[in-house]
Amino acid sequence: MALPSFNWWGKGSHKGTPVVVTMENPNWSMVELEAPSESDFQTSTVTQEKARGKNAKQLTWVLLLKAHRAAGCLTSVASTLFSLGSTIRRRVISGQTDNNDSTPSTENKTVKTRFYNCIKAFLWLSLLLLGFEIAAYFKGWHFGAPKLQLQYIFTAPFGVRDLFDGLYTRWVLIRVGYLGPPLQFLANVCIILFIVQSLDRLVLCLGCFWIRFKKIKPIPKQDAIVDLEENGFFPMVLVQIPMCNEKEVYQQSIAAVCNLDWPKSKILIQVLDDSDEPTTQLLIREEVHKWQQDGARIVYRHRVIRDGYKAGNLKSGMSYSYVKEYEFVAIFDADFQPAPDFLKRTIPHFKDNEDVGLVQARWSFVNKDENLLTRLQNVNLSFHFEVEQQVNGVFINFFGFNGTAGVWRIKALEESGGWLERTTVEDMDIAVRAHLHGWKFVFLNDVECQCELPESYEAYRKQQHRWHSGPMQLFRLCLPDIIRAKISMWKKFNMIFLFFLLRKLILPFYSFTLFCIILPMTMFIPEAELPAWVVCYIPATMSFLNILPTPKSFPFIVPYLLFENTMSVTKFNAMISGLFQLGSAYEWVVTKKSGRSSEGDLVSLVEKETKQQREESEPNLDETKTDILREQKSRQKKHNRMYTKELALAFLLLTASARSLLSAQGGLELGWLPNENFGRRGLAESSVHRLLSSRFRF
């Protein structure tokens, strides 16, 4: 059977009706197919026209749908911005800012807002200059065209130009002649300080690498270990736990200290409670009584007159007559949980080392991964212990006492004058005075003591304020004693220049001045320049070195840079207040704790709380429940605060970055004018000044 021709299929000019192939039987015979007729072609043409019309309608609907979605996005963005603005306005009106802090403070409000007013004035000035520069950009003061568009300024009489051109020309002259040189000088000074501090940081890192490479660490003498393990020679140790209104953590710290592996007859625990809340006093007193019934040698001490903050509390604990029977004193803050073998790993370092006055252990943190703030704090404190404390302890035998997780020889405390209430850094004060009396310090990087990090920015900022204002107070008081001390010139240089000036004063000064003041000013006054290696390369390298002790924090290197830039405001303000004895220099606020513990402590605490609830009477339980409910209600009323100084600084840097983008698009920057207009490339600023002055005489 002859098959029909299928050439019409290959032409492809028209499409006919669908062709169906029917398989009648297993022999795969095919039914004869007829070719499409002319009527089929006419029908397909009409169908195509209908399909085109349908496709056009579908495209229209798609475009309308996308336009509707875009309008919805714009509406949602507008509503979000409106709600954000309403929230900011509501918080400002209700006083939910750091300027309206409800925490009791001895700081004068005038002093407290003075620094913020300076930043705010600088912010408004930068906004005014940014608007001025944008207007000048659209008026033609830029290099948008191949030829300099300022040429008409030099070829036309002054009367033809409008008032804005005259004002901007005067501003350019003031920049070149009066603002640029002093700003460049200040920038050069800060760059020198920055280089010196970076070299110090690099030397510390090299020292840490050397310690790791040589595996250097303090090792107690063998006979000291033998005396403890075989001969059973245990010296008398006094343990002090100072606390103040810290009901979140008192149980775990008392439990950890009472579980220290030391003969009970050779240890006495003092709980030095400065709490002014009756409920907290009752809870701590009952906890001490419970451990007394379990056989622990522990006493509760509460001061009626609470002078001198922590220093006064420790001083009162050392004033009892029975303290003379003890040779060493270990100090732990309320949130610290020493391991059971803490004393066995620290006390042997005093054996046959009569000049050792302090053995300091390293801190570890139970909540270092709680949020971004705790992760960034862990970076700073890990570098402090791993690099600064360890290097100074190995090579100099001097470092600042961290205030807790350390063991003092009581003789060293007494010879150094004991605890003094003259500053808010009593730990650094006693360390400096002990070093001036010839005592040496030992830092143990492999002995850790668990503690907590502040989990809120408010608590962390107040802690950093105390840590950076106190050293400046102490420097003013100790400088004459350091100069008169009978120690080597190297030790005097190390203590005055490296310990105080470079690491306590210069570091916060240049961090804020260089990166938060001078850098934004160079955007508006481009005649003063900062090299790229100062702005980018060295800070990135220093941040890289800071994160080396915590390799897991490398993904947070960019937030760490921004975090340090933000904290420079608080640190600089604290440094200035401590140096010039302003109202906030003597402010002491106890860092808020959340009561977090290690996994092992949580189990024991649950068992102890269950046992305590069975032994407590019903009235005490009712009072405790009432206090807990009241505390929960107060926590529910708390809101996130707006920190005005940090926000003002952020907007200041934002305006400076906008000015930088304007310069990148062709904004006027004298000193690199093109040769098409002035005959040579790189016309000097003095030449521009002469040209402008000769054309416009003011």
The pLDDT tens digits for 77-89 are 777 766 766 666 6
- Kindly state whether residue 191 falls inside one of the protein's structural domains: no
- Kindly state whether residue 312 falls inside one of the protein's structural domains: yes
Active-site annotation holder among 98, 273, 333, 427: 427
Active-site annotation holder among 98, 165, 274, 335: 274
Q: Mind listing the pLDDT tens digit for each residue in 154-189?
A: 444 444 456 887 888 888 889 888 999 999 999 999
* Proportion of the chain in helix, strand, coil states, percent, rounded to 5: 65, 10, 30
Domain that holds residue 448: 214-585
CA dihedral sign of residues 509, 510, 516, 518: positive
CB neighbour list of residue 484: distance below 8 Å, 6 or more residues apart? none
Residue 165 class from Cβ within 10 Å (0-12 exposed, 13-18 middle, 19+ buried)?
Answer: buried
- Kindly state whether residue 489 falls inside one of the protein's structural domains: yes
- Kindly state whether residue 8 falls inside one of the protein's structural domains: no
CB neighbour list of residue 517: distance below 8 Å, 6 or more residues apart? 122
Distance of CA 348 to the CA centre of its chain: 37
- Kindly state whether residue 281 falls inside one of the protein's structural domains: yes
Residue whose entry in the numeric block shows the structure tokens 């190297």: 490
CA atoms within 13 Å, Cβ hemisphere of 226: 4
* Residue 42 neighbours by CB distance under 10 Å: 11
- Kindly state whether residue 526 falls inside one of the protein's structural domains: yes
Domain harbouring 401, CATH code: 3.90.550.10
- Provide the mean pLDDT of the chain: 79
Residue 634 class from Cβ within 10 Å (0-12 exposed, 13-18 middle, 19+ buried)?
Answer: exposed
- Kindly state whether residue 387 falls inside one of the protein's structural domains: yes
3-state secondary structure of 239: strand
Distance CA 382, CA 550 (A): 7
Three-state secondary structure string covering 619-639: HHHHHHHHHHHHHHHHHHCCC
Quote the pTM value.
Answer: 0.77
Q: How many domains does the chain have?
A: 1
Q: Mind listing the pLDDT tens digit for each residue in 321-371?
A: 999 999 999 999 999 999 999 999 999 999 889 999 999 999 999 999 999
- Kindly state whether residue 502 falls inside one of the protein's structural domains: yes
Please check the confidence at residue 673 and state whether its pLDDT lies above 50: no
Please check the confidence at residue 510 and state whether its pLDDT lies above 70: yes
In 164-317 the beta strands, taken as DSSP E runs, fall at 237-243, 267-273, 298-302
Average pLDDT over residues 581-607: 63
CA atoms within 13 Å, Cβ hemisphere of 457: 14
Q: Mind listing the pLDDT tens digit for each residue in 97-112?
A: 555 554 544 444 555 6
- Is residue 427 part of the annotated active site? The answer reads yes
**Are 266 and 234 spatial neighbours (Cβ–Cβ below 8 Å)?**
yes
Residue 511 class from Cβ within 10 Å (0-12 exposed, 13-18 middle, 19+ buried)?
Answer: buried
**Are 239 and 330 spatial neighbours (Cβ–Cβ below 8 Å)?**
yes
Distance CA 394, CA 335 (A): 28
627: left (phi over 0), alpha (psi -120 to 50) or beta: alpha
- Is residue 341 part of the annotated active site? The answer reads no
Please check the confidence at residue 605 and state whether its pLDDT lies above 50: no
Amino acid identity, position 31: V
